[in-house]
Copies of this chain bind each other. A is one copy, B any other.
Amino acid sequence: MSHDIQDIPRYVTELAKASKAASLPLGRATDAERIAAVRAMAQELRARTGEILAANAQDMEAARAAGTSEGLLDRLLLTPDRIEGMAAGLEALAGLPDPVGRVLEHRTISEGLDLTRVSVPLGLVAMVYEARPNVTSDAAGICIRTGNACILRGGSIAQRSCVAIAHALADAVEAQGFPREAVSIIETTDRAATGALMGLRGIVDVLIPRGGAGLISRCVREAQVPVIETGTGNCHIYVHESADFDKARAIVMNAKTQRVGVCNAAESLLVDEAVAPAFLPLILRDLAGAGVTIHGDAAASAVAEADSVVGERFVPAVEEDWDREYLALEMSVKCVSGLDEAIAHINAHGTHHSEAIVAEDREACERFLAEVDAAAVYANASTRFTDGGEFGLGAEIGISTQKLHARGPFAAEALTTYKYEIRGAGQIRP
């Protein structure tokens, strides 16, 4: 499937330059033209279902032969329903309000100059992702909708599927009168291609990694282009001494077990010493009963000794546990002396994603919300709500754990920047 590419950096650079050039006509296009393009992309996906499924079958066969886990195979698998879902996702983008061309400010400045601050596309968006082929159409769709070109880099395991999808989308975009390079995909599985992409300062306007912690930290460390860091979540639930135990148990169980492989799942439980003797036996039994392995401190250990159900799922916590994102039925458990220690622990060990307090004491809640340094801070609710859909943003691109540009769940608007347009009649600065 991969082209026979000798010089990877040169190949990636040329592809990205062509894609960047394609961003110009997209940036000039009207809202209606960009809507027509994403609709055409949806139609083309449907028309090419057979071809895409055939490519996916080859990926699946190779992945099975390589002994890939069932979970990963499921992420890789495409079906007619899943392709229809991708097409429907593209059509939903048509209904999105246009984030481009919004007048953010308009006023007269010195010497009577007319200044307008207007939202514009970023230009060329690079997305690097892993096993899910559907990210190809999600990413391309949101970029085209927002007037950006994209250069895509799918996971090796999904290469044939991603390329088949991208080719269909590029054909659709071309038929609408845009350069086909507006949807570009890197057609080699060589890892050097990702490195080359990350170095394209002045060509790639933003790089968005969507995947596991390894991919994201590689991008953050190595990239010379701007990155929107997404996704890792070492999220805490802190049970304050004033907590309603029923709420606390429901929130902890929901945040830990409702879906374990996601970044907004809880990984660590903090409990006030004052209520630990009463609360820990209840919650640790709940967790152990749901199959959760508990990495606990001394107080949790005492409960494990007294309760064999808990004991079977108990492991003494080591220092590294406070920093682990398990993404599995595992949780670290620690007692704290109170709100101050809880906030300090979270700010030291969290990943600034989603953090929750359970407390009836309103002042404790407000201090927690104000002082915990995270994209989303909760009082008496599950961290699982941190999601573009739940927040009503629509078409989430990812969840940013950085502070600049976009923080928390982000959508189309994060693919825009702004420019100042100044219209004069010959003014010079005195």
A residues at B contact (CB < 8 Å): 24, 27-28, 107, 109-111, 113, 115, 122-123, 201, 205-206, 220-221, 224, 226, 228, 244, 246-247, 250-251, 253-255, 258, 358, 365, 369-371, 373-382, 384-386, 390-392, 402-405, 407-408, 417-429
Given contact pairs A371-B27, A426-B251, A427-B380, A390 touches B421 in the complex (Cβ within 8 A): no
CB distance from A95 to the nearest CB of B (A): 19
Chain A to chain B contacts (Cβ below 8 Å), 15 pairs: A110-B392, A115-B391, A226-B404, A250-B426, A250-B428, A255-B428, A258-B429, A376-B420, A377-B422, A378-B422, A378-B423, A378-B424, A380-B425, A382-B429, A385-B427
Q: Which residues of B contact A226 (CB under 8 A)?
A: 402-404
Q: Which residues of B contact A379 (CB under 8 A)?
A: 421-424
Q: How far is the CA of A82 from the CA of B224 in the complex (A)?
A: 39
Q: How far is the CA of A374 from the CA of B247 in the complex (A)?
A: 52
The answer to whether A420 and B391 touch across the interface, beta carbons within 8 angstroms, is: yes
5 pairs of A and B residues whose beta carbons are closest in the complex: A381-B424, A247-B426, A254-B428, A384-B429, A404-B405
The answer to whether A258 and B221 touch across the interface, beta carbons within 8 angstroms, is: no
CB distance from A363 to the nearest CB of B (A): 13
Given contact pairs A206-B403, A224-B221, A403-B226, A408 touches B420 in the complex (Cβ within 8 A): yes
Which of B380, B408, B428 is within 8 Å of A382, CB to CB?
Answer: B428
Q: Which residues of B contact A373 (CB under 8 A)?
A: 123
The answer to whether B377 and A426 touch across the interface, beta carbons within 8 angstroms, is: no
CB distance from A283 to the nearest CB of B (A): 14
The answer to whether A377 and B420 touch across the interface, beta carbons within 8 angstroms, is: yes
The answer to whether A365 and B419 touch across the interface, beta carbons within 8 angstroms, is: no
Which of B110, B377, B402, B408 is within 8 Å of A390, CB to CB?
Answer: B110
Q: Which residues of B contact A220 (CB under 8 A)?
A: 201, 224
Interface core residue of A24, A246, A385, A407 (most chain B CB under 10 Å): A385
Query: What is the interface of chain A mostly: helix, strand, loop, or mixed?
Result: mixed
The answer to whether A113 and B375 touch across the interface, beta carbons within 8 angstroms, is: no
Q: Which residues of B contact A424 (CB under 8 A)?
A: 378-381
Q: How far is the CA of A426 from the CA of B184 in the complex (A)?
A: 45
Q: Which residues of B contact A380 (CB under 8 A)?
A: 423-427
Q: Which residues of B contact A421 (CB under 8 A)?
A: 369, 377, 379
Given contact pairs A374-B419, A403-B206, A381 touches B221 in the complex (Cβ within 8 A): no
Q: How far is the CA of A123 from the CA of B255 in the complex (A)?
A: 28
Q: How far is the CA of A202 from the CA of B253 in the complex (A)?
A: 29
Which of B109, B382, B423 is within 8 Å of A427, CB to CB?
Answer: B382
Q: Which residues of B contact A408 (CB under 8 A)?
A: 419-420
The answer to whether A381 and B419 touch across the interface, beta carbons within 8 angstroms, is: no
Q: How far is the CA of A111 from the CA of B24 in the complex (A)?
A: 42
Given contacts A109-B392, A407-B418, 14 further A-B contacts (CB under 8 A): A109-B390, A110-B390, A206-B403, A221-B224, A226-B404, A228-B404, A251-B428, A258-B429, A369-B421, A377-B420, A379-B421, A382-B427, A382-B429, A404-B417
Q: How far is the CA of A379 from the CA of B114 in the complex (A)?
A: 10
Q: Which residues of B contact A205 (CB under 8 A)?
A: 403
CB distance from A367 to the nearest CB of B (A): 9
Q: Which residues of B contact A425 (CB under 8 A)?
A: 247, 380-381
Q: Which residues of B contact A378 (CB under 8 A)?
A: 422-424
Q: Which residues of B contact A384 (CB under 8 A)?
A: 428-429
Q: How far is the CA of A375 from the CA of B250 in the complex (A)?
A: 49
Which of B228, B391, B403 is within 8 Å of A122, CB to CB?
Answer: B403
Q: How far is the CA of A113 from the CA of B419 in the complex (A)?
A: 35
Residue of B nearest to A402 (CB): B226
The answer to whether B419 and A375 touch across the interface, beta carbons within 8 angstroms, is: yes
Q: Which residues of B contact A369 (CB under 8 A)?
A: 421, 423
CB distance from A178 to the nearest CB of B (A): 15
The answer to whether A370 and B428 touch across the interface, beta carbons within 8 angstroms, is: no
